[in-house]
Amino acid sequence: MPDVTIIDVSPRDGLQNDPKPISAVEKSQLVRMLVEAGVHKVEVTSFVHPLKVPQMADASQLLEMLKSVPEVEAIALIPNLKGYERARNHRLSEVNWVSAATETFNAKNIGMTIDENMEQFLQVLEKAKEDGIKTCFSVAVSFGCPYEGEVAEVQVLDIVKCIKEAGVDRIGIADTIGIATPDHVERLMGKVLEIAGETPVAVHLHDTRGLGSANAYAAYRAGVRIFETAASGIGGCPFAPGAAGNLATEDLVYLFERMDISTGIDFEKLLDAADYAAILSSKNPLGRIRHVERKQEKGNRG
C-alpha cells in the first residue's frame, strides 16, 4: 500500500473556469491518462448549474464515457440538493460538498449562509448513505479569505466538529487562495486530525505564492495522508487576483518519492498526463518539475 493517497482534481477544478471549450472526449482522455499513471481517485466533474459553469455542462456525458474505465474512482462536486439528484444516477465513489469557513465567501459563491449550507448538506448526507455513495465535506478558505482576510481556526474547527458528528466519510481542508504557510498548515491540520479521529482528512492546496509543496509536507508532518492536487498545476480559485493554480500533482509526487514516501504512481506516465493537461488548459501551467524533467530529457537526447 502507498504511504499517501493522491486525488487529482484537474478535470474539475483545473478546467472548470477555463474560457476555452474543452470536450468530454478530451476530459475523458485526461482521466484515462491519470488512471494509467496510477492515480485512481479523480475528481472528474461538477454537477453545478450549466449556466453558471458552462465547462461542466457535460458532467453526465463524461461520466457515461468513463464507464469503460472501471479502475477510476470517480468523484463529483455537488453544490446543492439538485446537483446531488443529478449525480446519484451515475457510478460515483464519492460526492464532494463545499462550504466556506466564512459567511462572505459562502454568500458570494454559494448563495447560502454557513448554517443553510450545513442544513442542506445533512439532507444530502442522508440520501447518499441510502444510495451507498460516500461523501466528502470540504471547508474552503480555511487559511484565509479574499473577502474577510484572516480566518480564525475556530471557524474551521467548528465546522469540522459538526460534520464529524454527522458521519461524513471524508473531510477536506482547502487553502483556496493559496495564502497558507507551513507553520499554519501543520498547526491547523493537527487540530483537524485530532477532531476527525478515524475519519480520513485531505488537504487541498493552491500554489499561488510558491509554497504548495512546503505546505503539503507540513500537512504530512501533521499526519495528513490524503492530498488533492491537479496535473500540471492547472486551475485555481478565480476569486484570488493573480492566483497561480493548484499544487501540481507531479510536483508533489516528485517530492514524496524523493523522500521515500510512496505514492503508487508511475512518475513518467504522470508527466505525460501533466503534459496533456497543460495542452487542454488555456492558462499558463504552474507545475515546475515537468518543465525541468522535459528540458533534461531534451538535453540527454542532444
Distance CA 81, CA 212 (A): 32
Provide φ and ψ at 118, rounded to 5°: -65, -40
Residue 229's beta-bridge partner residues?
Answer: 8
In 3D, which of 129, 39, 28, 27 has the Cα closest to residue 88? 129
Distance CA 85, CA 29 (A): 26
Residue 6's beta-bridge partner residues?
Answer: 227
Active site residue 237: yes
Distance CA 227, CA 81 (A): 26
- Per the listing, cell 497558507 goes with 180
Non-local CB neighbours of 259 within 8 Å, separated by 6+ positions: none
- Pick the catalytic residue: 136, 145, 162, 237? 237
SS3 per-residue string spanning 41-58: EEEEEECCCCCCCHHHCC
Residue 174's beta-bridge partner residues?
Answer: 204
Beta-carbon count within 10 A of 54 CB:
13
Active site residues: 237
